[in-house]
Amino acid sequence: MHKIKYILNVTFIIMATNFFVSCSAEDGATGPQGPAGLDGVDGIDGQDGNANVIASDWVEAPDGVFSGTAEMNISLGEITFENINISAFLVYARTSAFSEDVWPQGQTTLLPVAIRSSADFKLQLDYFFTTENLTIRYWQDPFLEFISFPSDTQFRYVIIPPVNNTSGKNQSIDFSKMTYQEVVEYFDLEY
């Protein structure tokens, strides 16, 4: 009898183990769809993607005769020399003072630029900075005693600060290799 009791206990343990092991977590029937959640509050619109790009208005070159080199200053306002050193700084000129073969109508050109109108006659436009100004300089080679800016000449600068992005990738666009139209369209600036 003791043996039968032992066999029944072992059989019971085996059957219970098989029962618990063989049970599976079968999915029940899918319940009904719950009510839709409330719409969230719309966030505040972010700043324009080119908010940090600074573009000046077109500035007319001054009339008048200068001794040797014609120069004009454009105030940089609150822009510091340190900001300029870490940014892409582009200065453009446009004019209708020259013939089509020297400077095509409607062309906007990145400075510095040398304008050669004959083998021995060259005009130059370039720029440099002081602590508060962008100075644009115009001269002729061979050097003239007196010179004036070409009539109907305008200048504009575009300052493009470096981009801090979270991807860890560095922005590698060389804006000085782009045309004026490409830069204006890239940053959605006014012509």
Residue 181 three-state SS: helix
Query: CA–CA separation, 123 vs 174, rounded Å?
Result: 26
pLDDT at 119 over 90: no
Q: How confident is the model at residue 110 (pLDDT cuts 50, 70, 90)?
A: very high
Determine the CATH number of domain 54-164+175-187.
2.60.40
pLDDT at 61 over 80: yes
Q: What angle do CA 184, 133, 52 make, to 5 degrees?
A: 40
End-to-end, the C-alpha distance of the chain in Å comes to: 107
Backbone angles phi, psi at 78, to 5 degrees: -85, 0
3-state helix, strand, coil in the chain (%, to 5): 20, 30, 50
- 136-159 CB burial, b ≥16 within 10 A, e <16: bbbbbeeeeeebebbeebbbbbbb
State how far the alpha carbon of 92 is from the alpha carbons of 27, 36, 48, 175, in Å.
70, 56, 24, 12
pTM over 0.75: no
**What was the pLDDT predicted at 168?**
41
Q: How confident is the model at residue 167 (pLDDT cuts 50, 70, 90)?
A: very low
